[in-house]
Structures are given as C-alpha cells and as structure tokens.
A and B are shown apart, each in its own frame.
Chain A
Amino acid sequence: MTEYIMNTLSYPVLSWTAFMPVLGSVAILLFARENDNLARYLALATAAATFVLSLPLVMQFDTTTHNMQFVESKPWIPGWNVNYIMGVDGISVLLVLLTTLLTLICVVSSWKAIQKHVKEYMIALLLLETGMVGVFCALDLFLFYIFWEAMLIPMYLLIGIWGGPRKLYAAVKFFLYTFAGSALMLIGIIALYYQGGHTFEIVKLMGQEYPMQLQFWLFLAFFLAFAIKVPMFPFHTWLPDAHVEAPTAGSVILAGVLLKMGTYGFLRFNLPMFPDATLYFTPMIMVISVVGIIYGALVAMIQADLKKLIAYSSVSHMGFVTLGIFALNTQGLEGGILQMLNHGVTTGALFLCVGIIYERTHTRMIADFGGLTKKLPIYATFFMIFTLSSLGLPGMNGFVGEFLILLGAFTSQRIYAVIGTTGIILGAAYMLWMFQRVMFMELKPRNESLLDMDWREAATLIPLAVLVFWIGLFPNPFLNILHVTVQHLLEQVNGTAQMTAAAMLVK
C-alpha cells in the first residue's frame, strides 16, 4: 500500500515548481509590455528559478521507499471529494527534473529564433511547463486531468502561431488526436470515480481491486489516450506533422516531455490499477511495440526532412520504452523508465541541433546540406555525440536503457527481444546515413558562409551532452531512484496476478 510522505522542505517544493512559471508569466504580462528582451530575461529567470527549485527533489529524494514523497495535500472541491494532492515517486521525479531542465534550455534556444510575439511565446512556454510538471506530480485524478488538458492549449498555440507553413493542419491534427484520447480517458476517470468509492485519489484507486470486465474497459480507455500520446503505432501520424511544423523549442518539449506522458500514464494508471487487464493485453502491446520499433526505423530511414526523420525515430525509440514497460520485470521497467529520460535528453538535443542549422539556412531538407563538418567542427562534435547516443552506442545513455529493455524483454518473451534488437541495426543505419548526408561529403557552395555554434547555442547542448555520458557511464545514481518504486509496481501488477504467473511457471 502506498502512503504519503509529506513534504518536509521549508517550502512546498512541488507547488513552487509547478506554479513558479505561472508567476513568471504574470510578471512578463505586467512588466514586459513592449520590451521583448525583458520578456526573454524574465522567462529565463523564471525557468532557471524553477529548475533550481526542483533540484531538491532529486537531492533529497529518499530512494529507500516507494511511497509518494514531498506530498502536499489540500481539499479543493469537497463536494466531489476533489483534493489538491501533489507528490512524486521514483517514476515521476526524474521526469519533473527533465521538464524543468528542458524548459530552461528551450528558453535559451528560442532567444534569437523567435522574433514575433516574443512575450506571448515565452508565456506559452512557461504555462506549458506548469502543465507538464503538474501532470507528473498530480496525485488526484481530477487535478491530473486538468493539467493534462491545460497543457494541450499552450502546445497547440506554440505549433499554431510560431510554426511552419502547414502549422494549422499540424496544430489541429495534434489537438484532435490527443483530444480524442483525452475524451476516452475522461470517461474512464468518471467510471473509476464511481466504481472506486467516490474518490479521485490516485493512491487510493490503486489500492482497490476491480472486476476483470471493468478493468478491461478502463484499461482500454486509458491505454488509448496514452498510446496516442506516446505515440504507439498506429496512432503516430500526428507526430511527424507536429514536429515538422513546430518551432524548435516546441519540438524539443514535444519529444522530450510530452511523449513521456503517455508512457508515464501506463506506469501510473494502467499497470497498478488494472493488473489483470495489463496481463491480458500485454502480448498485444508487445507486438505493437516491436512493430513500432521496426516500422518507425524503416520509415525514418527514407525521410528527406531532418525533423521528420527524428520524429519517426522517436516512434521507434518509444517502441523500446513500451516494450520494456510491458516486459513486466525489473530490467524491462527500469530500462524503460531510464529510456524515457534518455529519449528526452537525446531527441531533445537532436531537435536543438536541427534548430541550430535551420536558423542559419532556413531549410531542414537533408539534401540541402552536406560537408558541414568543415565549416562547423564544434557543432559536428555535438551532433555526432547525440547521433551516437540515439543509435545506442555503449558508453552513452541510450545503450544502458536499450540493453536493460532488451534484457527484460528477452526474459519475458524472447522473440520480441530478437525483433527489437533488429531495430538497433536499423537505428545505426538511418542515423549514420543521415549524419553522412548532412555533415560529411562535399560542402555545398550555398553553405560556404555558415558560422559555427556560438556560446549560447553551446550552452543549450552542453548540459545534455553531460547527461548523455553521465547516464551512459554511471547510470546507478539514476537507477537507484527507480529500484524500490519499480519493485513496488511489480508487486502491484503481480499481486492479483500471481496465481496466473505461478501457473505459467508450473506449465
């Protein structure tokens, strides 16, 4: 049974982390009426403060308990038994940090790229951060749903206002796809409320047992909402469009954080609340995971647009994450969660890399580049690091996650690990082919005058490069945060299903 460990820090850390950006937005509204630069600096200060505020979450994190930590709880709408409860455990705490870090990086990366409606842009970015942090911290379903939906709006605006030529199509597609999922989830939430004893408290809802019939439908409702978000094959077609049209920071947040909400949802809701349905659906989900791995890789390979290529590679990488999660064992789950972090770091960085040359050339077509290494050697080094990280080179973050995932999958269902491993071959093929066409070979005359990265751009990539090697070479500090929570999650899944598992072993 999960319990609350109330926040003992001198300030309500989670509320501050979640709502600091709102304060910053208000400040921008009040003080930066005509002054774009002030808006930028205010946004930077806010994002930096939020990041600093979130640091105690990992530094003071108690790795010995699976209970929710840093919890704040206040009644909100007593009539419906709705409470304001925020808290984190091993699954969510790293995602909160990822969010605050990536938002800070995004503010810096948008410094010059965004020249129109700067104030509004920064506000959208900051409000998005509030939504994202809220999603990972909310421990009340009602609150969760509000954050979940609230986050859609700034993202929709980021794509729809600051996006590329087909921004409206992409923004509406993004919105409708996710909203379709959300609607299903809302039905699920209402059903849970009535079946789970008139409460929205996630921890309480986890502690109950639901009849299989109900689990089946609730699992499906939540699963579809999250699968669209991940996105799993075949719900992925919004992602390439959204990425291509979104501004750089939008892509970074989208790939780095928003996709993780889908897999976070699996971990927070589907697995612990509907364990029997989880076991029932696992074979099917593993199949679509490996289909996604291979399919995403194949389609990524032949893309002509850099952002589309990375978008499809995300489909492949997130396939690994879901494969690990539904392997339902320690290595699979820990690898899956670590890979969520890795994908956020690496793919976020790759989108930043694309943004850096897009700002200079205003094109993302692979065919327009070639030989850039000659003119941009520092950029080439960073781009190479993240390319290698993406293809899972040992010594870097991606390898640790992928290896644990495949090991977990191998333990539970050998064949999926075998197919998944094929994805690693393809990953090398499409990433290196892309890198070759962009960075190697002859330099095109039109790119003769390109300048290498400046310090601001380096500042956006250095922290991510540090994380790439840190997680790759010393993953234990990260894995330590996961161990106890993952064990508890496994107990929750297997608690009611132990009989089935035992029966399978005997057979």
Chain B
Amino acid sequence: MLKYALIPFLPLAAFVFNGLLGRWLKDKAHWPPLFAVLFSFVLAVSTLFEVMGGGHIEHVLYSWIVSGGFDVHIGFKIDQLTAVMLIVVTTVSSLVHIYSVGYMHGDKGYPRFFAYLSLFTFSMLMLVMADNFLQLYVFWEAVGLCSYFLIGFWYEKKSASDAGKKAFVVNRVGDFGFGLGVMLIFITFGTLNYDAVFATAGFHAAETVNIMGGTYSLMTVIALLLFTGAVGKSAQLPLHVWLPDAMEGPTPVSALIHAATMVTAGVFMVARCHPIFNLSPVALDVVTWTGGITALFASTIALTQYDIKRVVAYSTISQLGYMFVACGVGAYTAGIFHLMTHAFFKGLLFLGAGSVIHAMSGEQDMRNMGGLKKAIPWTFGTFLLASLSISGVPGLAGFFSKDEILWKAFTSHGAGHTVYYLLAFAAFLTAFYSFRVIFMTFYGDCRASHEVAHHVHESPKVMLLPLVILATLAVVAGYVGVPEAIGGSNRFHGFMAHVFGGGHGAVEGVVEGGASHALEVTMMLVSILIGVGGIGLAWFMYIVKPDLPGKVAGASTAVYNLLYNKYYIDEIYDFVLVNPVKWASTHFFWKVVDVSIIDAFVNAVASLVDAMSRVLRRLQSGYFHHYAMGMALGVFVIVGVFLFIR
C-alpha cells in the first residue's frame, strides 16, 4: 500500500519542500524533485512487474466527500493500463527533470520551476491511478493548473500569461462537458467508482434521456460528455487552440506536459472508459471522426509554420488524432501503444528543439537556422531518429504503433474505414513536415546572424543524456508490439488484453481479427511508401530545389494564407465569441441592465420619495394660523361630505 502511495506522493512532498524552502535551495533546487521522481520511476517499474501476470491492485486512501447517497473516496486502481501510464509518465518526467537542470540553469525562477514540475508529476500520477470518476476529474483539472503555471512560467511576458490563461479557460470549456458527464454517471449508477460503473454499464445500454425534446441513448450522451473533456485536454478540434500557444512555456514543459503526458490524458480517459464507449456506436464514430479530421487538419497547418516548436505542437495535435481514431475503432491497445511510443519520440522532438533553441541563443524561427548538423551533432542525430520514427520508417517505434492504427482503421467497417484515408494522407504530410524541419534546421547554409552563428554550441551533457535515452526508446519501444503478421509476438497486446479483452479490445463487428496476414503486410508496405514519399518530397523541395517552397506558396496564396494563419480559428473565436461577450457584458448587462434599469429605478424611487416629502414638508410650516386654517377646512369637508352622503 505504502509503495503505491509513494509513487505520486514523493513528487508531492518534493513540491511542498521546494515550495517552502526553494528560495534557499537556489541552484540546488532540482535535487528534491529529481530524487523524488526517480524513486517514483523505480516504484513504477516494480509495480509494472506486479501486474504483468494480469492481476490488478486497488486501494482506498480515504473517504473524501459524503453527502446523502453521494460517497466518493480517493483511491488507487492500478491495472495494466495504469501501469503503462505510470511508466510513461515517470520515465519522461525523470528525463525532463534531468534535462531541465541544464536548460533552466541560471533562470531566476529555477526553484519554482522544479516545484511546478513535481506538482505536475504528482497530479498526473494521481490522474492515471484514480479509481473513480471524480478523482479523475480532480486531477484532470490539477494537471491543467500545472500546465497553466508552467505555460505562464515567464509571467512577465504578456504572451506567456495570455497563453496560460487561454489554456486553462479552453480546458474548462471541455471540462464543462466532462463535469456534466460525471454527474450523469452518478445519477445513472448511484456511484462514481470505475469498477461498479463499468460492471453495470451494460444494464443501462437501452436507456434513453430526453434533451430539449429529443430522445438520445443514455450511454451515447454520457460518452460524448466525457469525450468533450478529452477534446479539450487532448487539444482536438475545435478546442485545439490552446496547445500551439502553450509553446510559450519553457521547452522541457512542452516535452513533458504538452507532448508526452498531460495531453494524452484524453486518450487515456477514453480508453479507461471503454466499457461505456463500446456501448455507443454513435460516440465511437464521433471519436473516430474527431480524431481523423484533427489529424489531417493539424498536419496541414504544420506544413507552413516556421516556429520550430509550433511545428512540433501541431504535429502533437495530429498524432493525438491518430490515437483517438484507434480508440474510436475499438483498437484501444493500438491507441495506448501509440501513446507510449509517441511520448518517447515526441518528447525527444521537443527536447531536441529545445537543444536547438539553446544552441541558437533563443531563436525559434527556422528561417533563421540552417546548417546546424555539424555544430550540434548529438542534437541532430537524436532529432533525426525521432523524425524517422514519427515518419513511420520501418523498424522504429513510431512505425509499429502508427501502422497498427492505420491497419485497424482500414479493416474496420463504417467510419474508421473512411477515416483511414484521412490518416494515410496525414501520414504523408507528417513525414513531409517532419523532414522539412530537419532540412530547414540542420541542412543548407546557416541563415542566422553572424553573432548567433558564432555562438552555436552543443548542449551540455546533462541535456544530451535524456536525448540519447529517449532516442533509444524511440527506436526500440516498438518491439514490444511487433505484429504477428511479420512474425512478431505482439506482447503488448497480450499485456493490455487484461484491460481491453480479446487481444484488441474489439467492438463486435468493428475490428475483424481474422483478416489475412497478406493484406496486413501489403498495407504495411503502403504505409512505408507513404512515409518515404513524404520524406522524399521534403528532400526534393528543401534540398534539391530550395526555391520551390516559395513558388508553391506564391502560386496558391489563398490556401497558403489559410494554413499559415491556422484557418483563422483564433480570429473566428474572438469575433464570434469573446468580443461579443465582452461587449454585451459592458454595454448591455452592466451599463444598461444594472445602471440604466435597476439602479435608475432604485434612484427614481428615492427621488420620488424625496420629492413627495418636499411637498408634504410645506404643510408643516409651523405657523399656528396655517394649522387653524387646515383644521377649519377639514371640519368643513367632513361635515360637507357627511351632509351630502346622508
């Protein structure tokens, strides 16, 4: 029990320690968090071995909220899915901690940075270890908070604090649905514990709910509400807008939070809730389409960006789309597999980008880079491996996981099969833009100013070590999931089958287990061609004919501008939503309703009373003869009325 609790609570302790004493630790502030996360990693590995045989671990820490029939605790559920997530989170987090020792060296917020990293690690671990929906929700928001802190780490920059706020608020929009989903689950099941909910979900499959006069399947509504949260957290259309801006944060943060772990929480959540999603074909189709469209959409934007981190950010959005497609077609194992390999190669891409930026004295615009291959060979080598991995070059981790998703989508019936073509095209674009980055950054002539070019230097060893470890993982991590079709044993499938069942977590009729190996191998070759084609095109455009990209952009200005400006989605949101709300709040709700209606009424009543009092006050003149006159008149009137009525 203590062992499992220590996994998240060690980083929490480090956070508290650094938070209180950080200012005295100064440049030694990385030790407590680093020590904590490394220890968590060791414990996570040992936990992984414990669940290897198929069992799972459950533990209740304490009773959190009790109100009437509502009874929620904080507890742990560690099954194979959680175990994988624990490994991914602690591995990448440890490496990012090490890397940050070099990258953040000399920053005046050094202790604060490591405190936040610890808090994030704690929250993320609690998120994946949760055994109920409310705990999931709590740490879902907590990781969002850490993301807010870390994006806005350099808070004096307006763009950074804007980006942090945007991330939090956009995620809240997603959490709006998630929160309602949690409530609906409680009302339906009377509990929020995963086990109890998942065990009885089937009994509610036929139930319906009425929303605004329409009748919908209950499970569909729950699944879609939960998915809203996933869309926000994992930056899928239309809530993806915060992730590119999140690149304002320090680059190690982008690697850890905005590539490897937090943004994949949405995928984790859908996989965790697969018993609910599996009951709703509609929800699965929505997941599939959202993922597919996002994957293509984000990769088209990535084609035109010049900021090296933004390219990688759009690439992340796109890859998350792949993972959702996997979930949508019921291939949860494939989704989690890709989540894992992606954590390694995308974490590596970010850390590599950070190393490039470090070498270039803070420059992020690839137009001012070029020819860095020789100057920073370790960064180049590892970055190249990651790019090959994401492009789907055979033998590397990204190849196995991405190809499996493509295969599962291709062989599924309905939405998945159509979406396959979107993914295939996106894969081509992925290979293209990944190597566009390689060629623009590392090849050709150096376009940096003389001063910057003169300063270019390889990063210190403390930064290179994580790059090398991640590069190794980006190469070999795929071998746990080599498909049977080419003679592999696919141990990952066997492992995850304890959670998703049946080797694929297959939804009936969606994935056909018996499809021929020959077809699978053929499709694999197609994937390889796509990847190699993308790389080749990038080579042709950026090495062979370097003036070609400019000509293409010039020839198709409208399309180019659309992509370059990210389809103007931020501008549309500002125009349709943000500005009208601000305007209405100021010029209608406040100045009209509050000031001109309610207060005007209140003041009018006051003025009326005031005016009447002034009139009435005249009667109290204080002169005896006025009162005598009044009395006489009164008597006259009363007597007159009396006589008249009688």
Contact = CB atoms under 8 A, between A and B. Distances in A.
Contacts of B179: 403, 406, 421, 424
Contacts of A447: none
Interface in B569-608: 581-582, 584-586, 589-590, 593-594, 598-599, 602, 606
Contacts of B145: 388, 393
B180 A475 contact: no
Contacts of B184: 410
Interface in B155-183: 155-158, 161-162, 164-165, 168-169, 172-173, 176, 179-180, 183
Given A417-B180, A424-B176, A425-B172, A404 B161 contact: no
Interface stretch (B34-42, B58-66, B79-87, B475-483): B58-66
Contacts of A334: 67-68
A433 B166 CA distance: 9
A49 to B, nearest CB: 32
B187 A394 contact: no
Interface string A19-32: 00000000000000
B169 A429 contact: yes
Contacts of B137: 394
Interface string B49-91: 0000000000000111111111000000000000000000000
B65 A406 contact: no
Given A177-B602, A421-B179, A424-B172, A479 B152 contact: no
Instruction: List the 5 closest A-B pairs by CB distance, nearest first.
Output: A330-B68, A394-B138, A440-B161, A440-B155, A298-B585
A301 interface: yes
B43 interface: no
Interface in A436-453: 436, 439-443
B27 interface: no
B161 to A, nearest CB: 4
B165 A432 contact: yes
Interface string A281-312: 00000000000000100110111000000000
Contacts of A421: 176, 179-180
A440 B152 contact: yes
A410 B183 contact: yes
Interface size class of A (residues with CB under 8 A): 35 or more
Given A330-B68, A407-B70, A440-B156, 8 more contacts: A295-B589, A298-B584, A299-B594, A329-B68, A404-B70, A406-B179, A410-B180, A432-B148
Nearest to A473: B64
B365 interface: no
Interface string A170-189: 00010011000000000000
B45 interface: no
B155 A433 contact: no
A7 interface: no
A428 B172 contact: yes
A369 to B, nearest CB: 13
Given A407-B186, A410-B180, A428-B172, A298 B581 contact: yes
A371 interface: yes
A407 B602 contact: no
Interface string A243-256: 00000000000000
Contacts of B363: none
A488 interface: no
Contacts of B582: 301-302
Contacts of B183: 406-407, 410, 417
Mostly, the B contact residues are helix
A14 B489 CA distance: 75
Given A410-B184, A441-B156, A237 B598 contact: yes
Contacts of A298: 581, 584-585, 589
A165 interface: no
B602 A237 contact: yes
A335 B67 contact: yes
Nearest to A298: B585
Contact of B594 (A237, A330, A433): A237
Contacts of B158: 440-442
A62 to B, nearest CB: 18
16 contacts: A234-B593, A237-B594, A302-B582, A330-B70, A331-B70, A335-B67, A393-B142, A395-B138, A403-B179, A406-B183, A407-B186, A410-B184, A436-B164, A436-B165, A473-B64, A483-B67
Contacts of B589: 295, 298-299
A310 to B, nearest CB: 15
A302 B589 CA distance: 10
Contacts of A411: 187
A411 B148 CA distance: 32
A393 B161 contact: no
Contacts of A301: 581-582, 585
Contacts of B62: 474
Contact of B602 (A173, A299, A432): A173
B285 interface: no
B307 interface: no
B161 A436 contact: yes
Interface string B553-566: 00000000000000
A410 B183 CA distance: 7
